[in-house]
Chains A and B, each alone.
Chain A
Amino acid sequence: MKTAAEQAPAPRSGTAGIPPGPARAHDVVLQVKDLAVDIRTHRGTVRAVNSVAFEARAGETLALLGESGCGKSMTAKALAGIMDPVCDLAEGQIILNGTDLAVLTPKERLKFAGPELGIVFQDALTALNPVYTVGTQLGEAFRIHRRLNAKQAKAEAIDLMKRVGIPEPESRINSYPHQFSGGMRQRILIAMAVALNPRLLIADEPTTALDVTVQAQIMQLLRKLREEGQMAVVLITHDLAVVAEEADSVAVMYAGNVVESGPVSEVFSDPRHPYTKGLLESVPAHLERGAQLKSIAGSPPELHDIPSGCVYQSRCPLVQDICRAERPALRPVGPPVAQSDIQPETQPRPARAAACHFSEELNNV
């Protein structure tokens, strides 16, 4: 946090500088630059998230893809300003609509929590307060940010429940979280996150705890809300299929680092990092019956001994001396997007980037 403060802070536009009405499609809503998060442990401070960078655009979904423990949830919590007390935002910028959230005090951030940024958790049962009715919890954002009274907040809560497709909202509003099914609880959680029509919605594995049919319904709801509100969605997931179906762009994380990013179609058809390539090859979709499943040998490094060079060196088939000596930076790769594809009023498509010394040679493996 200190490092970010020393750098010239982005102009504090706050909510005042943003034009009213829905954001224009494809505008950059969130820019994350060089984000690093430290965890204080008994064995010393470890860096759980390192030089993470990506952009999220209005009306689009950015998937943050990675396996358990790669730092994707921690990134989400850092963005939302709800990290555990043992975690510190060590470096970087989180620029949401021109305001760098990383330099704000916790109290200043509260103004953004809700109206600008909402978050959905994986486990809706523990994410809902068991001792209050869902109506109370749905109405809370309105009471805090719009200073509505109890009756007005209740009316807003009923509207929200309708928006996310909960039947009989007038009677269900006085029920407690444990009286709802898992899918309905997830809908309530989503309703809370979108209550104040935020510019940015962070969805941290929103469907992992649900069965497959409900998963599809929830993803459909998120898509509908994203389109209605022109929200930028950061979807955190370990599911390649979800990324392929739902996301416009993807940032692949490994051991706390973004190793590759770009539009989903390009990244998936032409991966430029050996980890992405390994992940895609381990999908069993195109295998012959009875054929050996492919997997990436080894396991990710412990946070306590992440090697000094490339984070993927111990599992990489292409590893060379330079990989052990020098950590590759996330740098632009691939041919630039053809200018004719870009419409004049929209911003250019997100560039592709990969953090590998040999990303150009990957096709030959």
Chain B
Amino acid sequence: MLIYLRKRILSSALPLVVVIVGVFALARMTGNPASLYLPLNATQQMRDEFTARNGFDQPLLVQMADYFGGVLRLDFGQSLRTGQDAAAMALRAFPATLQLAATTMVLAVLLALVVGCWAALKPNGIADRISSFVSMAAASIPDFWLAIVGIWVFAISLGWLPTSGVSGASAWVLPIATLLLRPFGVLVQIVRGSMVSALSEPYIKLARSRGAGELRVVTHHALRNAAAPALTVAGDLTVGLVNGAVVVETIFGWPGIGKLMIDSILQRDFAVLQAAVLLTAVAIFALNILIDMGYALLDARVRPVTARA
């Protein structure tokens, strides 16, 4: 397993380099930071001085080489805006996103498992039709629209929930509900589909012929077989949540990595943007490795070959 992990980590290195180069190049297309950070009446000399101080006068390739050198020394540069260490800013914002995404995914997976299994018990039954309609709707509603409607109804009209911020448990409700809907809808359909096919397998019939009751058949025999597709999709959706967090965090003023990215793009705060994107990319690679290990736990057939052959 350790050999497998090392292989996976090494094979993630190249995509990470591509991510760094891509973000580095794209960020510089947004324009020169000098025009944002200096007063409108700044002289050409002041501009040149600002540009030279931050190294923006160097050729792009030299800048990139400097940056890579920094990354290898875990030095991600300073924020133009605050002068703080960029990596520290990204790391400080990350837990807020992680909490939001993790809570959302745990809730989405649990709800989807219950609803999906319930629907799969009787394909085309009433439960199946209801859950199919609900999950389809949930997967199709755009999150920014839902967020705004949610704020309008529950925060402004009814006044039950705060419009934004992180004060208290009630502040979590709208962001989680907004983020939850799509993963829930997609996962219900995946769980339902893989449970229907798992439940029609001969080994399910055989389990029944041994006297296994309905609950045991569903939770013990079918669910573990149906879990792999759900795990794959849940992983993808978690990645999507980090992207969705950009929208939702901006709308709800959630101080996470998504809001940090948007702010640093708007401010041409290159070092912070790069650090935030790199951190997100590392998190996504880590997530993928976790998912692969999850497969191996669920199903011996995909376990990397170890001592026992």
Contacts and interface: CB of A to CB of B under 8 A. Distances in A.
Nearest to A141: B210
Contact of A176 (B200, B203, B213, B300): B300
Interface string A211-252: 000000000000000000000000000000000000000000
B213 A110 contact: yes
B212 A121 contact: no
Interface in A72-118: 77, 80-82, 84-85, 107, 110-115, 117-118
Contacts, number: 78
A113 B203 contact: no
A131 B298 contact: yes
B117 to A, nearest CB: 15
Interface in B207-228: 207-213, 216, 221, 224-225
A296 interface: no
B28 interface: no
Question: Which 3 residue pairs across A and B have the least CB separation, nearest first?
Answer: A113-B211, A114-B211, A82-B205
Contact of B211 (A123, A129, A145, A176): A145
Nearest to A145: B211
B207 A140 contact: yes
B202 A141 contact: no
B287 to A, nearest CB: 23
B299 A144 contact: no
A114 B206 contact: no
Given A126-B201, A126-B203, A129-B221, A114 B301 contact: no
A80 B207 CA distance: 11
Interface in B98-145: 122-123
A130 B299 CA distance: 7
B224 A131 contact: yes
Contacts of A192: 206, 210
B225 A144 contact: no
Contacts of A81: 208-209
A140 B212 contact: yes
A127 interface: yes
Contact of B210 (A77, A85, A123, A144): A144
A49 interface: no
A80 B209 contact: yes
A267 B269 CA distance: 91
Interface in B25-46: none
B123 to A, nearest CB: 8
Given A113-B211, A130-B299, A145-B211, A121 B225 contact: no
Nearest to B221: A129
Interface residues of B, number: 23
A128 B208 contact: no
21 contacts: A77-B205, A81-B209, A82-B206, A82-B208, A84-B200, A85-B123, A110-B208, A110-B211, A121-B206, A127-B202, A127-B203, A127-B205, A128-B206, A129-B207, A130-B225, A130-B301, A131-B224, A131-B299, A140-B210, A141-B210, A195-B210
A349 interface: no
Given A82-B205, A119-B206, A129 B225 contact: yes
Contacts of A140: 207, 210, 212
B101 to A, nearest CB: 28
A126 B298 contact: no
Given A126-B203, A127-B206, A111 B301 contact: no
A128 B211 contact: no
A178 interface: yes
A144 B298 contact: no
A140 B224 CA distance: 16
Contacts of A133: 300
A133 B303 CA distance: 14
A192 B203 CA distance: 12
Nearest to B223: A131
A127 B207 CA distance: 9
Given A107-B213, A127-B203, A131-B300, A113 B208 contact: yes
B301 A176 contact: yes
Contacts of B299: 130-131
Nearest to B222: A129
A128 B221 CA distance: 10
Q: Which of B201, B203, B210 has the most CB of A within 10 A?
A: B210
